[in-house]
């Protein structure tokens, strides 16, 4: 049977304005960094996307190199968009990025105009789209002039290949320059995508203030610290976990006895709030009005459904925040 979205999908989600722009994003957005490549089961991908859309998640975040192999997440998303969501493109915010290695040679990486324009053209073909809603530069390029990179983003909008542009992984000083250049070009930066969690708080040292003052949205990725801020590691390192296999960014040696004790203290606060640790970790990010949305990933629909429970309680008392900060300060 053809997919028909839930008629109540827009009553289940909170939507937040993205900086000073006219765009609103769901408080929870779905990232396709993992679990959407050719190595994954397409029907499971479909079920995750359907649950997301039924739950009011309208924003789907990709990048040119997501997979594996690189490019396959966009290809799979394009297939499912055409098959299951053909009549709903205008209800979706689809984003992609370029900035990390995508193809061999000097034109398949970093931040040149050549790379960014070529990469987005490839992404649009893979997804069978005329445009993306948001296109990001994925990381700063230490060699290409920032003016060239930002001019490329401006060009992409003027070409009609993206409606909005953003930046990702930019430190405060780099972000300030990029925001100013784009403002002068007449294509404002509407959003920044940094890594942020209870265990990765660098954006609190200037970046969040900058984004708030400049009217730029913020959409953190890796909010659960690659799974560390979940129930999975409360009793140690499960053999089927990322840390046990040392896959990706979470390594076994990061789960120390001290870290386990800290996680259990945080979990105790979460339980007092009627939440799981993962729920509280997401709610803790969303408590800040400068945060537009939080990117979550999912390997199955049930995992996404669980993450959405964080929206049931995004308020914190001063005592709860003080206790959390005290625990984190001892890390």
The predicted model gives 200-215 an average pLDDT of: 98
Give the pLDDT confidence score for residue 321 in this predicted structure: 98
Mean pLDDT value across residues 149-154: 98
With left for phi above 0 and alpha for psi between -120 and 50, is residue 248 left, alpha or beta? left
Q: What is the pLDDT of residues 114-145, one digit of tens each?
A: 999 999 999 999 999 999 999 999 999 999 99
With residue 282 as reference, give the H or E element that holds it.
helix 277-286
Task: Determine what percent of the chain is predicted with pLDDT higher than 90.
Answer: 89
Which are the contacts of 22, defined by CB distance < 8 A and separation ≥ 6? none
- pLDDT tens, position by position, 54-76: 999 999 999 999 999 999 999 99
**Least confident piece of the model among 133-137, 157-161, 215-219, 225-229:** 225-229
pLDDT of residue 256: 81
- Going from the C-alpha of 164 to that of each of 137, 279, 302, the distances in angstroms are 12, 30, 32
What pLDDT, in 10s, does the model give residues 13-22? 999 999 999 9
| SS3 (DSSP) at 191 | strand
Q: 3-class SS at 42?
A: helix
SS3 301: helix
User: What residue ranges define each of the domains in the chain, with the CATH number in brackets?
Assistant: 13-226+280-313 (3.20.20.100)
Q: Model-level pTM? A: 0.94
What's the pLDDT score for residue 246?
A: 53
Task: Give pLDDT, residue 113.
Answer: 98
For the record, the structure tokens of 252 come out as: 């076994």
pLDDT recorded at residue 267: 97
């Amino acid at each position: 049977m053809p997919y028909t979205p839930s008629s109540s999908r827009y009553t289940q989600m909170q939507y937040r304005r993205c900086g000073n722009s006219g765009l609103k994003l769901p408080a929870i957005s779905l990232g396709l960094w993992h679990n959407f490549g050719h190595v994954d089961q397409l029907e499971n991908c479909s079920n995750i996307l359907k649950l997301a859309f039924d739950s009011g998640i309208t924003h789907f975040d990709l990048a040119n190199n997501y997979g594996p192999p690189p490019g396959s997440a966009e290809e799979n998303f394009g297939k499912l968009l055409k098959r299951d969501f053909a009549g709903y493109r205008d209800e979706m915010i689809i984003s992609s990025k370029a900035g990390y290695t995508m193809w061999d040679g000097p034109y398949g990486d970093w931040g040149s105009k050549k790379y960014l324009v070529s990469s987005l053209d490839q992404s649009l073909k893979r997804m069978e789209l005329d445009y993306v809603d948001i296109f990001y530069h994925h990381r700063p390029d230490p060699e290409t002039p920032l003016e060239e990179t930002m001019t490329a983003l401006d060009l992409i909008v003027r070409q009609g290949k993206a409606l909005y542009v953003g930046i990702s992984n930019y430190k405060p000083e780099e972000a300030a320059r990029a925001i100013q250049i784009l403002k002068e070009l007449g294509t404002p930066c509407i959003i920044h995508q940094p890594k942020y969690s209870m265990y990765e708080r660098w954006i609190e040292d200037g970046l969040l203030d900058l984004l708030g003052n400049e009217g730029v949205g913020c959409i953190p990725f890796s909010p659960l610290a690659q799974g560390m801020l979940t129930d999975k590691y409360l009793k140690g390192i499960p053999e089927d976990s990322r840390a046990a296999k040392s896959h990706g960014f979470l390594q076994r040696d990061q789960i120390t006895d001290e870290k386990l004790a800290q996680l259990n203290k945080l979990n105790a606060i979460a339980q007092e709030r009627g939440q799981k640790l993962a729920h509280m970790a997401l709610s803790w990010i969303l408590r800040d009005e400068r945060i537009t949305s939080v990117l979550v990933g999912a390997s199955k629909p049930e995992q996404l459904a669980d993450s959405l429970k964080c929206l049931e309680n995004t308020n914190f008392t001063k005592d709860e925040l003080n206790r959390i900060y005290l625990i984190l300060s001892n890390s």
